[in-house]
Structure 1
Amino acid sequence: MLNQVGRNGWRRHRQVLAVGAATSLVLLAGCSNSSSSTPKASASSAKLTGDCAQYQAYAGHAGTKVTMFASILSPESDSLQTSWKQFSTCTGITISYVGSNDFESQLPVRVQGGTAPDLAIIPQPGLLQQMVKTGKVVKPPAQTVANEDKWSAAWKTYGTVDGTFYAAPMSANLKSLVWYSPKAFKAAGYAVPTTWADLMKLSDTIAKAGKNKPWCGGLGSGTATGWPATDWLEEVVLGSYGGDTYDQWISHQVKFSDPKIIAAMNTVQGWMHNPAWVNGGFGGVSTIASTTFQDAGTPILSGKCSMLQQASFYEAQWPKGTTVGPDGDIWAFKLPAVDPSVSDPVEGGGEFVAAFSDRPEVQAVQNYLSTAAWATSRIKVATGWVSANQGVDPAVYTDPIDQLSAKYLTDPTATFRFDASDLMPAAIGSGKEWSEFTAWFSSNQSVAKTAANIDAAWPQ
């Protein structure tokens, strides 16, 4: 099995097969202060010097602890914690982090049960809305609100519920990628397709050549099993009809049983349900449901399949030693629009930091995580992470996939939309849609029944 990183470093999608263990950064020493002793929490005016001077605005809370809960698991959580190591060392604030395979189901239970974390990294605006309705989410401090000017209006909207800003954007990821082997394409004489028609033609050509299957895929993701198929449909809906229909679909003004969505599901059916095209390296169509999304791309490396539609964060899943680049073992191209009249459709995902406490040390951490300085630190410690913060210097990105992602995610001419299932009510977007899409692939459940079952479960 590949490295167990999840879907949406983003991503509600960071679901894996093993539950991440709680880890803490208890780093209260080593700050370059004038005194070698750890500063006391009461010393709000303690002067930080040297490398620690940059954290002066967060000083005065030494000896305190802030709990954080998310779906991010090792190895991604390791670099996440490294990103705030110096902050923790210099301020004396311990950030006690817990990552869970069952984050989406556990967070509501913990909040309702009175054991909410101080901070939660929430990858679904729909789940954020659900948490705000409990009355337990605390509005961000003034400095976090002031940092809003470093995010685009769209990203601020995703962290807003009923007109009130609650959660600062943390990360971003590009969903609209197709992973492939440049070496294999070159050897076979295949060109990277730039239109949907060319992509489908290439798929048919690969299948008829008989050497491998054009596509591989996997829906397995612990309690989040099914989410990759929601991405496939979202890409087709956005790429077929543009942003307006996509938005109406999210709000259920356009239902799953609407002819447009049924047509999009049939497009997915002809693409990823095609027994002649999938599931290279694993078996037939039904194996897509039982294959973990982490393992889904491995047959590309062994030549058993040619392409995988997955997000930018999938880069972390390739085995150590895999060269990712235009001339490497693995690279990616932008998934073309189904309808060429849709201007450069781009689907993305991301995460947002919500607070369940307004203690000063919690707000200090919340403020720091909303800055370009923290985002830059996070980018530097590990590849495969892109920030929604526009204050980050693009030159900081050294990884080619991160550069590619940042290019499309910041393109003002693109038709950008956030992951639809993340924006839908949690009961649908991280519940019924996942289970119904899994049944669609595992038992060949019909498109009509799948759509009807999701519509029937939509909250009134």
Structure 2
Amino acid sequence: MNIRLNVRLRNRLLVVPAVLGLSLAAACSNSSSGGGGSTGAATLSGSCAKYQPYAGHAGTKVTMFASILSPESDSLEKSWAEFSSCTGIKISYEGSNDFESQLPVRVGGGNVPDFAIIPQPGLLAQMVKTGKVVKPPAQTVANENQWNPVWKSYGSVNGTFYAAPMSANMKSLVWYSPKAFTQAGYQVPKTWADLMALSDKIAKAGANGGKPWCGGIGSGTATGWPATDWLEEVVLGSQGGDVYDQWVSHKVKFGDPQIAQAMQTVAGWMQNPAWVNGGIGDVKSIATTTFQDAGAPILTGKCSMLQQASFYEAQWPKGTKIAPDGDIFAFQLPAVNPSVATPVEGGGEFLAAFSDRPEVQAVQNYLSTADWASSRVKVASGWVSANQGVDKSLYTDPIDQLSANALTNPAATFRFDASDLMPAAVGSGQEWKSLTAWFAEGKSIQQVSSDIDAAWPQ
């Protein structure tokens, strides 16, 4: 799931430093006071010249609503500060913990923002059904050529493109300790068979009572979401993108052989009592361990690996060296089936507009460019874009670099988080509940699958 802890925290864990306000007016100059349209646009000069395509709307304001809170929202606002100063378009941003529930209320009640940053394709589809979402201008559509085509499909509803992708996060990672691996003589596995063989080797070694895997799916009212990721990784990595897509649309059901086989693989991996839950407890303890605490035993040698997304970086204690030769690093989870080309699961956010005013379209165009994505990367460590036009050298954090390379790899089999794409009654409802019971109560795969399929809206 892409939205955790108050239905959003999973993408909000990366803490960035509070940013200072910038005085950018002096850096930009206009040859006139600006105008309200392209024919009367001011001529921008100096560092503002690059914003000339967006000029002509000085003195206007657009509103933006999202779930992104401070300090991350500080870097978000900083990323467009120069654009705003140069063009004269004020972007009035509002973040809310209740975004997912409040956006439909606002749209239904007439208090509609100009923009919403939407993390769920399912929520985007819900908003499009209201008739209030406006199709993007031609330039925004053209800018989507900088993304893997599948991203455009996630910003589309019934084949019509509505919302440009913004951020991206990498789910297909395994966290481990390079120092511990080196000391034990372990190699980072390149294939699923190698990963399973390494797991068995670590379990048999039993150094200091440690086990190969640790895990936790506790997350308050969102408990269960990490288990959906484990299943999604295995479905994509064993069955490929086509079956994954059919699963999301329920053409392939949870009870069908392809998904049942994937659940058997997950059970052999994360429900193997000899392999989990190092430093914490037995298989059932995975259901009661919070995902934030799940990786801690890696630092004490009680477990060796944790499957979690790129944003988990924020959970390591201050002072932890995160590097290929450090205390902690990550490697990409291999494909279960070698015939599936580099499976990558990810999540992200999309910018939807509820107005077609010229100033709204100017902002919409800018925020869909590699230039804006690059400006965000520069001010927000831990923020990654799948825009292929972003210079990879801008990423200074090694996990960000790893994630960006995977997310922009044109040869990868990329798919969006399945539970975010499924109807909410399933993806963030029965599936969370049933997969939690699978770990906590030892319910059968057949029962778990049947319960989830029964929750699918008719």
**1:76-95 to 2 correspondences below 5 Å:** 76-95=72-91
Aligned to 1:50: 46
Report the identity percentage. 73
Q: Tell me the SS of whatever aligns to 2:345.
A: strand
Q: Distance in 1 between matches of 2:385 and 2:7?
A: 16
Is 1:252 aligned to residue 246 of structure 2?
A: no
Higher mean C-alpha displacement, 83-92 vs 217-226: 217-226
Check whether the contact 2:178–2:327 (CA below 8 A) recurs between aligned residues. Answer: yes
**2:124: which partner in 1?**
128
Q: Which digits, 9 at most, give the CA deviation of each residue in 1:277-308, with x for residues without a partner?
A: 33334433344334333333233223332111
After TM superposition, give the deviation of residue 155 of structure 1 in Å.
1.6
Matches of 1:407 and 1:227 in 2, distance apart? 25
Secondary structure of the 2:9 match is coil
- Secondary structure of residue in 1 paired with 2:48: helix
Q: Distance in 1 between matches of 2:268 and 2:278?
A: 16
Contact 1:33 1:48 in 2 (8 A): yes
1:436 aligns with 2:431: no
Partner of 2:194: 198
- Matched residues in 2 for 1:442 and 1:71: separation? 31
Q: Does the alignment pair 1:146 with 2:139?
A: no
Name the CA distance, whole Å, in 1 between partners of 2:391 and 2:158.
32
The gaps in structure 1 that reach 5 residues or longer are 1-5
Deviations 1:297-335 (A, max 9, x none): 233223332111112232233333322221112111111
Deviations 1:39-93, CA, capped at 9 Å, x for gaps: 6775962343322222233334444443323333444333222222222333333
Contact 1:8-1:350 within 8 A present in 2 as well: no
Aligned to 1:353: 351
Q: CA deviation at 1:457?
A: 1.4
Amino acid across the alignment from 1:14: L
- Equivalence map 1:148-163=2 (5 Å): 148-163=144-159
1:49 aligns to what SS in structure 2?
strand
**Residue 274 (structure 2) aligned to one of 239, 262, 276:** 276
Say yes or no: does 1:237 pair with 2:232.
no
Show CA shifts across 1:346-374 (max 9, x none): 22222211112233333222111101100
Contact 1:177 1:334 in 2 (8 A): yes
- Give the alignment partner of residue 164 of structure 2, picking from 168, 171, 174: 168
Shift of 1:227: 2.0
TM-score (norm 2): 0.87
Alpha-carbon contact 1:427-1:459 (below 8 Å) kept: yes
Question: Residues 369-388 of structure 1 correspond to what in structure 2 (within 5 A)?
Answer: 369-388=367-386
Matched, 1:32 2:27: yes
Instruction: Check 1:176–1:287 CA distance in 2 against 1; reply closer, same or farther (3 A cut).
Output: same
> Does the 8 Å CA contact 2:10/2:311 hold for their aligned counterparts?
no
Query: 1: distance between equivalents of 2:7 and 2:139?
Result: 27
Q: State which of 97, 119, 123 in structure 1 corresponds to 2:93.
A: 97
In the alignment, the residues of structure 2 paired with residue 17 and residue 412 of structure 1 have an alpha-carbon distance, to the nearest angstrom, of 27
Name the TM-score, length of structure 1 as normaliser. 0.87
How far apart are the structure 2 equivalents of 1:319 and 1:173? Answer: 21
Contact preservation (8 Å) 1:178, 1:332:
yes
Per-residue deviation, 1:25: 11
Amino acid at match of 1:68: M
Matched residue, 1:3: none
Instruction: Report if aligned partners of 1:219, 1:228 keep a CA contact under 8 Å in 2.
Output: yes
2:263 to 262, 265, 274: 265
Q: Give the alignment's Cα RMSD to 1 decimal.
A: 3.2
Match of 2:212, SS state, is: strand
Structure-2 change in CA distance of 1:67 and 1:321 (3 Å): farther
The answer (yes or no) to whether the contact 2:147–2:388 under 8 Å persists in 1 is yes
Alpha-carbon distance between aligned partners in 2 of 1:25 and 1:366, rounded to the nearest angstrom: 25
**1:404 partner letter:** L
Q: CA deviation at 1:255?
A: 0.2
1:137 corresponds to: 133
Q: Distance in 2 between matches of 1:449 and 1:82?
A: 49
CA displacement 1:400-419 (0-9 Å, x = unmatched): 22222233233333322222
- Provide, for residues 159-203 of structure 1, a one-character-per-residue CA deviation record: whole Å limited to 9, x for no partner: 111121101111222221101010011112222122222222322
Separation of aligned partners in 2, 1:279 and 1:106: 38
* Superposition deviation, residue 380 in structure 1: 1.4
Q: Tell me how far apart the structure 1 counterparts of residues 433 and 59 of structure 2 sit (CA, whole Å).
A: 44
* Higher alpha-carbon deviation: 174-183 or 188-197: 188-197
Alignment of 1:420-459 (within 5 A): 420-459=418-457
Aligned partners of 2:143 and 2:354: how far apart in 1?
Answer: 19
Greater shift in the superposed pair: 60-69 or 254-263: 60-69
Query: In the aligned structure 2, how far is the partner of 1:68 from the partner of 1:296?
Result: 35
Residue 338 (structure 1) shift: 1.6
CA distance in 2, matches of 1:130, 1:403: 34
Shift in Å, 1:250: 1.3
Q: In structure 2, what is the Cα distance between the partners aligned to 1:102 and 1:109? A: 11
Separation of aligned partners in 2, 1:243 and 1:100: 34
TM-fit CA distance, 1:344? 2.4
Distance 1:415 1:257 in 2: 24
Q: Distance in 2 between matches of 1:285 and 1:271?
A: 11
Alignment of 1:14-25 (within 5 A): 14-15=9-10
